[in-house]
Structure 1
Amino acid sequence: MTGLSLRDPQLLGTLLAAGLCIGGIAAYVALRKAPDEAELERQRRMELVQGGRIIDGTVIDISDLDEQESGRAGGLQLILYQYEIAGVVYECSQDVTSLKEHLDIHQCRIGFPASVRYDTHRPENSIIVAEGWSGLRDTANSVPIRRTPRRPRVKAAPFL
């Protein structure tokens, strides 16, 4: 019967490799930088843009608070909107302060329809604008109306 010996080179190599793997994983977990709130919010928006379902909603209001009112450096800009899924009306707001280069909230049209992206498993998790996507509309029509140019009328020849 052969027993395990700590002098066996194969056993020592296996233990050393396992120890290095566990040590590497522990070092990665201890030294990695945890994402901040802004990064988590950006990731949430990107997940909704990539996999969220789109539904019609309405922009209810905008809110532009200065530093004193909001208690945050740089102030706070919010878009308030609502949408309905399966008979449940959701009223939400999205902090768009970090999206200032993509959007001017003072150009938003209150009461206009908008497209809302939401998570099908958690319908309250929604956005109305992100870095590469916007559900805000410039007109009250969801589909722009394109008028076809009229053809000039051809005068009919007189009957003889």
Structure 2
Amino acid sequence: MNLNAVKIWEIAGGVVLLTGAAAVGTWLLRRKRPTPAEIELGRRQFLTQSGRIVDGTLLDVAEVPGEDGNPLTMLMYEYRIGGVDYEASQDITLMGDVVTVAHVRSGFPCSVRYQPGNPENSIVVAEGWSGLRKTVPLMTVWDDRQRGNSARLHTETSE
């Protein structure tokens, strides 16, 4: 191989490298970036598919002003994992078909889905799953009014 052949291969390699870098740069600049709503939808789908469930308590539903001035409906809740208390909120503004704000009751228990390696990443409602409960769970109590009979179990509801 002579010296001219080596220079031709170096030039060709440089042209291929520059063309590839230009193609990657163009793709990075022109690709469709996900919107914040699409990112949040992906996060909820991920937690619905692979999140663990823990008991929590609904704290409040509040309207807060958003960055663009429009009000956001926030669902605030708390839960405990491994002795650590977490207090979180979830934006449910665009989830009117999944959750009705009028039916959310503060102080009621709920189920919270969280990411095992990152317990701060949690949700209470998603498109295919809801951790909201409509009533307080039934509690079992002992009725010991009649001593002659054996104690009987009754269930009561608090409504």
Q: Is the pair's TM-score, using the shorter chain for normalization, greater than 0.5?
A: yes
2:31 aligned partner: 32
Distance 2:123 2:56 in 1: 11
The letter of the residue matching 1:118 is Y
Q: 1:103 aligns with which of 82, 99, 106?
A: 99
Distance 1:6 1:57 in 2: 69
Q: State the Cα deviation string for residues 15-41 of structure 1 (Å, max 9, x = none).
A: 555444332211111112333322222
What TM-score do the two structures reach when normalised by structure 2?
0.71
1:52 aligned partner: 51
Instruction: Give the CA deviation at 1:127.
Output: 0.7
1:82 aligned partner: 78
1:2–1:115 CA distance, 2 compared to 1 (3 A): farther
Distance 2:123 2:24 in 1: 35
Listed as ranges, the matches of 1:1-150 within 5 Å are 4-7=5-8, 12=12, 17-65=16-64, 70-71=65-66, 72-141=68-137
Instruction: Give the CA deviation at 1:123.
Output: 0.9
Deviates most, 121-130 or 41-50: 41-50
1:80–1:15 CA distance, 2 compared to 1 (3 A): same
Q: State the Cα deviation string for residues 18-70 of structure 1 (Å, max 9, x = none).
A: 444332211111112333322222222222122211111111111135xxxx1
1:132–1:74 CA distance, 2 compared to 1 (3 A): farther
The letter of the residue matching 1:60 is L
What TM-score do the two structures reach when normalised by structure 1?
0.71
Matched pairs, number: 136
Distance 1:73 1:93 in 2: 19
Q: Which has the higher strand share?
A: 2
Using the aligned pairs only, state the percent identity. 40
**Which structure 1 segments of 5+ residues have no match?**
143-160
Distance 1:50 1:18 in 2: 41
Distance 1:56 1:18 in 2: 55
1:154 aligned partner: none
